[in-house]
Amino acid sequence: MGLNYGHLLALYPMDLSVIIPVLNEEGNIPTLYQRVTTVLKALDASYELVFVNDGSTDQTLKKIQELSIKDPAVQYVDFSRNFGHQIAVSAGLDHSRGDAVVIIDADLQDPPELILQLYRKMKEGFEVVYARRAKRHGETWFKLVTAKMFYRVINSWSNVNIPLDTGDFRIMHRKVVDILCQMPEKHKFLRGQIAWIGFRQTWVEYDRDIRLSGETKYPLKKMLRFALDGITGFSTVPLKLATMSGFVASGLAFLMILWVTFVKLFGYRFGLVVQPGWASTLIAILFLGGIQLIGIGILGEYIGRINDNIKDRPLYVVREVSKELKETNPKTN
């Protein structure tokens, strides 16, 4: 990529950055801060916590600002509105200054204590160490089944090996983060992008806890949108399926034409009576129309992504950045 890592090292004076996207997490902030800082102090490394406030409407930002006054390691980026989880993580990556970067959510389902294992594993020579979920406590059967299906579908459809049963909880070397920050997609699917980048990657297994407080920020609608971003961002199989569906529908329609023609011309010899009516016509129209609409919808998803990228709007808009980040990070100026 033409990056001068000696120069970058001077720009990133921290050993470790921890990125925490937050949306209405006021009930979790104190416990999260306590647990994360306890872990980081045990590492005997310089660190920073970069909170990204994704348009919270409660006291989340106020609690973070209070922490930043008490602890200079606490930094924050405040969005002008809600831009979404993946965008918030991307903003954290843009503003991070650590030679290694951890991504963790604020709901404490991912235990901060695992950061110790992730960090030590990376020190063995890996550029990416992700946390793989062995068990997921407190999840509904629907969430468990759909999540398992999603990871396996996207892995079978994509030409990139995206790790199974993993979220965004991971640690990355600075060189991976810098490449990730140069990827211009507006519809972010970070775990797929990180897999695409490559380098040496491994995992640490853990059991996922229940949410400490508050409500999930990924209801069904957002889950479906996220899954669609992942599939359309890393696979062209839906386009191929639309094409194949067109061929299948055309084949069935051709067979129907042959059958109707046969009955019309020779049906009387076999006792087949042609009854004029609308049923067969209606079925054919609905079937072919459905296939066409599905195909158009799939094309629309891909064209919509192209349109969003061509508009080249900023990925996010920042209302405020903590003073130290603004003064020391060249990406904020």
What pLDDT does 172 receive? 92
Which has the minimum average pLDDT: 41-45, 161-165, 233-237? 233-237
Distance from C-alpha of 227 to C-alpha of 149, rounded to nearest angstrom? 11
What's the whole-model pTM score?
0.69
pLDDT tens figures, 58-70: 999 999 999 989 9
Q: Smallest Cα–Cα separation from 234: which of 199, 201, 196?
A: 196
What pLDDT does 44 receive? 81
Q: Considering the chain, what is the average pLDDT of its residues? A: 76
Within 10 Å of residue 153's Cβ, how many Cβ atoms?
Answer: 15
Which has the minimum average pLDDT: 6-10, 113-117, 233-237, 267-271? 6-10
Which has the minimum average pLDDT: 4-13, 182-191, 230-239, 287-296? 4-13
Written as six digits, the tokens of 183 are 């990827």
Q: Which residues pair with 130 in a beta bridge?
A: 170, 203
SS3 for 219? coil
Cβ 209 vs Cβ 137: under 8 Å:
yes
What pLDDT does 53 receive? 94
pLDDT higher than threshold 70 for residue 138: no
What pLDDT does 100 receive? 92
Cβ 192 vs Cβ 227: under 8 Å:
no
Pick the CATH number of 5-235+314-332 from 3.30.1220.10, 3.90.550.10, 3.40.50.300, 2.50.20.10: 3.90.550.10
The DSSP output letter for 221 is H
